[in-house]
Amino acid sequence: MKKVVIAVAGLAIISGATSASGQDAGTFHIGAAAPLSGPQAIFGQGLTNGMQLYFDQLNAAGGLPGGHKVELVKADDRADPREGVLVAQKFCDDEQMIGVLAHFNSGVTIPSLDVYGGCSMPQVTVSSNPQVTQLGFGHVFRAANDDYAQAQLSASYAIETLKEKRAAIIQDKQAFGEGVAKIFEDKFKALGGEVTSVSGVNSTDVDFGPVITSLKAENPDMVYVGAVMPQLALIVRQMREQGIKASYFVPDGGFTPDLFAQAGKDNAEGTLITFQVPPYDSKPELVAFAKAYREKFGKEPDTYDAYGYLAAWIVGETLKGMSKADVNRENLIKALHATNLKNSLLGIDVSFTEHGDLKGGLAFLYKATDGQFKLVK
C-alpha cells in the first residue's frame, strides 16, 4: 500500500513537472478526461476532438479578452473509475488548471466528484446519470441532459402535437427504465393526459404476450416503454402482431439499427424515439461544426462529438465574460452558476439550475420511417 502511495505521488510530481515546464504563465489550462484507449476510445476521442476544435477556434481568434490563450490538457481515464480518480488528482495539482471537462462515463465521474470538489475545481461533464448532480457537490455542471429528462419530450409531443389522451406505460424495473417511465407519467398527467396502466416487466423477459393482451383491452392511444434493447424492439413487434395500433414511444436505447432488425421494419415503422443529439445537417451551426471538424480531423463527427464542443464552449464563453485578474477556480464556479449563454451549437440557451443541471430540455424526437430515423422535433 505504501509503495502504491509513493508511486502515485511520484507520478503526480512527474506529470505536474512536465506539464508546467515550457509553458508561458499567461496560459490557462483546461483539463479534458475521457476514455482515449480501450473499447470506448471512439467516444472519448470524438468528445475531446470536439473540445479541441472549440479551443483551437478560440485561440486562433486571439484567445480570451486580453489575449490570454487556453490550452486543453488531455488525459486518458480508460473508462476506469480508479484511473479517473488519479487523473483528477493530477489535474488538481496543476496550478494553471482552472477547470476540467470530465468525465465521459457516469461511473468514472461520480467517484471523481470528491477529488475535484476538494480542490474547488469547476467540472463540466457530459455524464448522464442523474446522481451526478444530486450528490450535493456545488462544483459540477452537466452540459447534457440527465438520463430521464428525455421522457418529458415524449409526453409533451404526444399530448400537444398528436393530441393523445390515454397512455399505457411499460417499464423494466431497472433504474433507467423506471426513472424515465416515472418522469413520463408525471409529465403526461400534468399535461392532462390519463395513464391507463403501468406494467412492470422483468428486464430479461422476451415474451410480452400476456401484458400486451391486457393492454389491448385498455385501448390506449399510445404506449410508452421505459426499457432498453432488445425489449424495446420485442414489445413493439409483439404489439403490432397482436394488432395494437397505438403510437409507440421509446427512450434513447431504441436509436439503433437493431430496432429495425429485431422488430422487423414494418413493425418498427412510426416508432417515436427520443435522443440527445440532432442530426448534423439539421441546423446551419451544426453544418458549420461538421465542416470544421472534417477539415481538422479528416472524418465525420460522431454522435457525441458536438457535446464535447458544447462543454468547451460553455466554459470558454463564460471565461470571456470574466476579467483576467478574476480568473481562478472558485470564481469560475460562481461564474458558471450565473452564466446565461444564447445560441449554443445545439440550439438551446445555456444556464444551470442550482444543482448544475441544464435548464430546459436537450432532447430530440425521431420517428422510425422506412428503416431510417427522421427528426420530427
Helix (H, G, I), strand (E, B) or coil at 257: coil
Assess 229 for contact with other proteins (CB under 8 A): yes
Based on the shown chain and the rule CB under 8 A, indicate whether residue 178 belongs to the binding site for other proteins: no
Report if residue 371 touches other proteins, rule: CB under 8 A: no
Cα–Cα dist 163/77, whole Å: 46
Residue 217 identity (one-letter amino acid): A
Does residue number 243 form part of the binding site for other proteins (CB under 8 A)? yes
Task: Report, in Å, the least distance between residue 230 CB and other proteins.
Answer: 5
324 touches other proteins by CB under 8 A: no
Question: Which of 128-136, 202-210, 314-322, 369-377 is the region at the interface with other proteins (rule: CB under 8 A)?
Answer: 202-210
Residue 217, interface with other proteins (CB under 8 A)? yes
Nearest distance from residue 87's CB to other proteins, in Å?
Answer: 29
Among positions 140, 201, 225, 336, the unique one binding other proteins when judged by CB under 8 A: 201
Q: Does 210 interact with other proteins (rule: CB under 8 A)?
A: yes
CA separation for the pair 277, 286 (Å, rounded):
11
Report how far apart, in Å, the C-alpha atoms of 49 and of each of 35, 36, 46, 124 are.
12, 11, 5, 16
Site string for other proteins, 81-100 (x = CB under 8 A): --------------------
- How much is the CA Rg of the chain, to the nearest whole Å? 23
Q: With binding defined as CB under 8 A, does residue 202 bind other proteins?
A: yes
* Count of C-beta atoms within a 10 Å radius of residue 56: 15
Pairwise CA distance, residues 208 & 2, whole Å: 55
Between 80 and 258, name the residue whose CB sits nearer to other proteins.
Answer: 258
CB of 183 to other proteins, least distance (A): 19
How buried is 370 (Cβ within 10 angstroms: 0-12 exposed, 13-18 middle, 19+ buried)?
Answer: exposed
105: which 3 cell numbers? 462515463
Buried b (16+ CB within 10 A) or exposed e, 283-312: eeebeebbebbeeebeeebbebbbbbbbbb
The region of 11-19, 134-142, 155-163, 203-211 touching other proteins under the rule CB under 8 A is 203-211
Taking CB under 8 A as the criterion, the residue among 34, 159, 167, 233 binding other proteins is 233
* Site residues (vs other proteins, CB under 8 A): 173, 197-202, 204, 206-207, 209-211, 213-214, 217, 229-230, 233-234, 237-238, 241-243, 258, 261-264, 267
